[in-house]
Copies of this chain bind each other. A is one copy, B any other.
Amino acid sequence: MRDVAVIGVGMNKWGELWNDSHRTIWTDAALKAIEDAGVDRVDSMYVGCMSGGLFVGQEHLGAMLADQLGMGPIPGTRVESACASGGLAFRLAYMEVASGMSDIVLASGVEKMTDVDGAAATYALSTAADQEYECFHGITFPGLYAMMARVHMSRYGTTQKQLAEVAAKNHANGSLNPNAQFPMKVTAEQVMNSPAVADPLRLLDCSPITDGAAAAILVPLDKVKEFTKNTPVRIAASAHATDTMALHDRGDIAAIESTARAAEKAYAQAGIGPKDLSFCEVHDCFTISEIMAIEALGLVEKGQGGAAAESGLTALSGKMPVNPSGGLKSKGHPVGATGVAQVYEIVNQLRGNSDKRQIKDAHWALAQNMGGTGASSLVHIFERLS
């Protein structure tokens, strides 16, 4: 298999984009990535989207978006792994370039979530969990993560304030990100005093409903110079793992086992360990998710995730910055796009283009994107080349 590099990335300002449609939001991000890469063609494209059917009444998204880009008859492939759909699209684009099948591949993700009302959006999101054994009995995602949080708190002494500190940190980072949906700063007190959604999770512990897209251009590493003068970013590892759909089938619901399994493979492929990373983008769909993710990635010991934001370890200026982009919490969470937007942040950071939230001398970075309550996880590791 060939080494693969990312040479272009694009995304738009995320939010409630009522003047734009699913297809125009996506096309905007895709064209920005193509322009950033400086390529004049794409050989194949992937799009991650969780539920075009339930959110906008449109499936067949690979063909639709290849057409929208004016690039038919190129292959257009839509993939889905709930909130990890973007990470999965990125992995398949990586595989297509690595295999030698294609040279210039677009990886992208999109979700338009605000064209339906809140109840319909909650239903659509619930299709990421086990409908027959979980959701049909009444639970929704905040409830599932609340149960995971309760076990974490009871077993490891994680506190409500520690959850809130994750939100405060990510909003502080997001306040420096012009693409963030909610770029306001919040204090841990404001998070703890926000309305309860599913105890212990408060409104400000939850990521929002968002419209948005992101895209990246992948090429073989040894052909980078043919296409661009940008600093290339090498994909050092790509890993994908699954776990049971339903929480009741898991040995431990206070851990994200699929992330741990994917991370193990990814570190082995990259030949590095968690201590070598300059920073990470992780899947903070709820504040407890970031805590469990950094434990699964080995950034902290199991049970120590709660202290990480509180102690400043994961702050922008900390020893291991997590979610410099603002994360899903502040940047927004258009479910199909999130995994590719993590790559957008990482590529810009590794190029040194992240302005006020730039992490100094960043060299290795990791993206962790997960679906549902962690039934699927994608982990990618990136290296700056220069």
Contact = CB atoms under 8 A, between A and B. Distances in A.
A101 B240 contact: no
Given A73-B258, A80-B79, A62 B242 contact: yes
A147 interface: no
Q: Which size class do A's interface residues fall under?
A: 35 or more
A186 interface: no
Contacts of A241: 72-75
Contacts of A96: 95
Interface stretch (A32-40, A46-54, A155-163): A46-54
A54 to B, nearest CB: 4
Interface in A87-111: 88, 92, 95-96, 98-101
A240 B375 contact: no
Given A59-B80, A63-B371, A73 B242 contact: yes
Query: How many copies of this chain does one complex carry?
Result: 2
A362 interface: no
Interface stretch (A7-15, A125-133, A302-310): A125-133
A250 B92 CA distance: 29
B245 A63 contact: yes
Given A59-B51, A100-B1, A131-B58, A64 B245 contact: yes
Given A77-B79, A81-B62, A67 B245 contact: yes
A3 interface: no
A249 B95 CA distance: 32
A337 to B, nearest CB: 15
Interface string A55-67: 0111111111011
Contact of A53 (B51, B129, B244, B376): B51
Nearest to A249: B67
Contact of A92 (B52, B59, B66, B92): B92
A21 B131 CA distance: 12
A211 interface: no
A28 interface: no
Contact of A131 (B57, B67, B128, B130): B57
A80 B80 contact: yes
A76 interface: yes
B95 A63 contact: no
A257 interface: yes
A242 B78 contact: no
B242 A74 contact: yes
Most buried by B among A64, A79, A98, A241: A64
A204 to B, nearest CB: 26
A98 B72 CA distance: 25
Interface string A184-207: 000000000000000000000000
B375 A67 contact: yes
Given A64-B375, A72-B244, A74-B242, 16 more contacts: A54-B59, A57-B126, A57-B135, A59-B80, A59-B128, A62-B80, A63-B242, A63-B243, A63-B376, A72-B243, A73-B257, A75-B240, A75-B242, A79-B79, A95-B95, A95-B96
13 contacts: A21-B132, A50-B59, A58-B127, A59-B80, A60-B375, A60-B376, A62-B376, A63-B371, A66-B242, A67-B244, A67-B249, A72-B241, A79-B80
Which 3 pairs of residues, A with B, have the shortest CB-CB distance?
Answer: A99-B99, A63-B375, A75-B240
